[in-house]
């Protein structure tokens, strides 16, 4: 791929390499031809202080630092460095954009250095796999059988294949979510499966399956039949609660086509209580995208026209406080127009303080900073649209070095 920075050239493995000695630099000053000697930081700083400095660098700079010399490589590869790195502020989330509809090639955007990197994702075969991320780990699930989940760290390439989840091998709809504990690094993966009851379009079987990395086992704490609603492919875990976007199937008079239900993962009640937790969406949506921003549920939604709810007229961002939605931003019209022709469906994901929004029909990527209330285009992705029906999609993840599945 052209135009991007190759991530492979900056990656370091976890085995010390034989590298040449780091030479100090010296230069001559033109002023009076007086010789000035610069002192190498590598020579005057002790390991612990150099290690402390390196932990505060952007992750791409840490990777490059590991290629400077043997000493620096050993420092950034050490367990102590990774432990210290885990205790600094979280890295700004990156966004991986798939540039093909048939293979998983793409670029990752670094919002700190405002650069795109060409990286190869482990495990994944096609862009239409189910994808979820949390705290440095990304979970992929194959789209056809929906029974082959993987958890990986896209930066270090550590990867683990999970046992197949129980229940239906093939479902009409599936929603994937992952939640990683920042202290213990244990994680839960949830898969919600939804299948139409034979002969009844208005009723849908729903089952929730949870994987616990401590026990390395799946459990199915709940199965239920929804009437007038079905699950889709949008779910997220926030502060121990699973949030699931559901879609009206008719048979009643719902105000909107979307709704939100919740399930407490800690209680894991087997009783059919899901519809009692129904939270209406804030307005008529063309689509909704759920994300966890600092253990708060945030939804990015396409706002439908009053008379034509399937036609998008804008994009809003809401945060859930209890059972009430609070609108925190609406995309300015100039950015909405900047996407060109905007379909009613779009990709959006986020973590920490950043939200990424991308049209399926173009490689343009818009970034919203919640703290600063600031909208900004990313640097132009080093790819051009080659044919009218070419599609783009992507996902957001936090780059970490110390977390392994």
The pLDDT tens digits for 335-358 are 998 887 777 899 999 999 999 999
State the pLDDT confidence band at 175, using cuts at 50, 70 and 90.
Answer: very high
Q: What confidence category does residue 308 fall into, taking pLDDT thresholds of 50, 70 and 90?
A: confident
CB neighbour class for 342 (10 Å; exposed up to 12, middle 13-18, buried from 19)? buried
pLDDT of amino acid 178: 97
Phi, psi of 166 (to 5 degrees): -75, 180
Composition of the chain by helix, strand, coil, percent to 5:
10, 40, 45
* Residue in this structure with the two tokens 């509809």, named with its chain if needed: 101
Residue 276's pLDDT band, with cuts at 50, 70 and 90, is confident
Region 140-167 average pLDDT = 87
Closest CA to 134 of 242, 246, 262: 242
Q: What is the mean pLDDT of residues 177-192?
A: 94
CA dist., res. 141 & res. 174, Å (int): 10
Average pLDDT over the chain, rounded to an integer: 83
Who wins on pLDDT, 204 or 42?
A: 204
**Do 92 and 60 contact (CB within 8 A), yes or no?**
no
Q: Is 345 helix (H, G, I), strand (E, B) or coil?
A: coil
The 10s digit of each residue's pLDDT in 110-137 is 999 999 998 888 888 888 889 999 999 9
For the full predicted model, state whether its pTM sits above 0.75. yes
* pLDDT value, residue 211: 95
- CA pair distance 97, 105, nearest whole angstrom: 8
Max avg pLDDT among 32-41, 100-109, 253-262, 364-373? 364-373
Query: Where is 43: in which H helix or E strand?
Result: helix 41-44
DSSP string covering 118-186, please?
Answer: E-PPSS--STTSEEEEETTEEEEE-TTT---EEEE-TTT--EEEPPPPSS-SS-SEEEEEEEE-TTT--
Does residue 3 carry a pLDDT above 60?
no
Domain boundaries, the chain: 94-397
pLDDT of residue 347: 93
Question: What pLDDT does 168 receive?
Answer: 67
CATH number of 94-397: 2.120.10.80
Tokens 């992750």 appear where?
A: 59
Q: How confident is the model at residue 73 (pLDDT cuts 50, 70, 90)?
A: confident
pLDDT of residue 290: 97
Q: What is the Cα–Cα distance from 149 to 140, expressed in whole angstroms?
A: 6
């Amino acid at each position: 791929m052209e135009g991007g920075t190759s991530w492979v050239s900056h990656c370091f493995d976890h085995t010390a390499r034989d590298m040449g000695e780091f030479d100090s630099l010296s230069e001559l000053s033109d002023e009076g031809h007086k010789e000035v000697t610069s002192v190498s930081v590598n020579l005057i700083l002790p390991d612990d202080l150099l290690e402390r400095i390196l932990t505060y660098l952007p992750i791409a700079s840490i990777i490059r630092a590991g290629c400077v010399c043997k000493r620096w490589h050993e420092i950034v590869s050490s367990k102590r460095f990774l432990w210290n790195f885990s205790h600094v502020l979280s890295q700004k989330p990156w966004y991986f954009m798939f540039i093909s509809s048939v293979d998983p090639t793409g670029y990752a955007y670094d919002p700190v250095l405002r650069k795109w990197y060409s990286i190869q994702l482990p495990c994944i075969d096609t862009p239409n796999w189910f994808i979820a991320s949390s705290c440095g780990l990304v979970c992929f699930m194959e789209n056809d059988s929906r029974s082959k989940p993987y958890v990986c760290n896209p930066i270090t390439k550590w990867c683990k294949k999970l046992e197949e989840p129980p229940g239906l091998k093939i479902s009409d709809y599936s929603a994937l979510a992952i939640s990683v504990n920042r202290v213990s690094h244990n994680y839960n993966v949830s898969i919600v499966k939804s299948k139409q009851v034979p002969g009844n379009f208005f009723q849908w079987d729903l089952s929730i399956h949870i994987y616990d990395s401590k026990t390395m086992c799946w459990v199915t704490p709940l199965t239920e039949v929804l009437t007038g609603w079905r699950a889709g492919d949008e779910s997220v875990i926030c502060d121990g609660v699973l949030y699931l976007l559901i879609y009206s199937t008719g048979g009643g008079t719902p105000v909107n086509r979307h709704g939100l239900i919740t399930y407490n993962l800690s209680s894991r009640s087997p009783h059919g209580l899901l519809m009692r937790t129904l939270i209406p969406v804030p307005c008529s949506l063309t689509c909704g995208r759920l994300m966890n921003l600092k253990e708060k549920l945030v939804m990015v939604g396409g706002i439908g026209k009053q008379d034509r709810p399937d036609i998008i007229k804008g994009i809003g961002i809401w945060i859930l406080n209890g059972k009430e939605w609070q609108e925190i931003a609406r995309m300015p019209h100039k950015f909405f127009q900047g996407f060109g022709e905007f379909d009613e469906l779009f990709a959006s994901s986020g973590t920490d303080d950043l939200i990424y929004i991308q049209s399926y029909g173009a490689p343009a990527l818009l970034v919203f900073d919640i703290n600063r209330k600031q909208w900004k285009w990313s640097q132009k992705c080093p790819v051009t649209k080659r044919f009218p029906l070419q599609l783009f999609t992507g996902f957001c993840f936090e780059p970490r070095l110390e977390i392994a599945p």
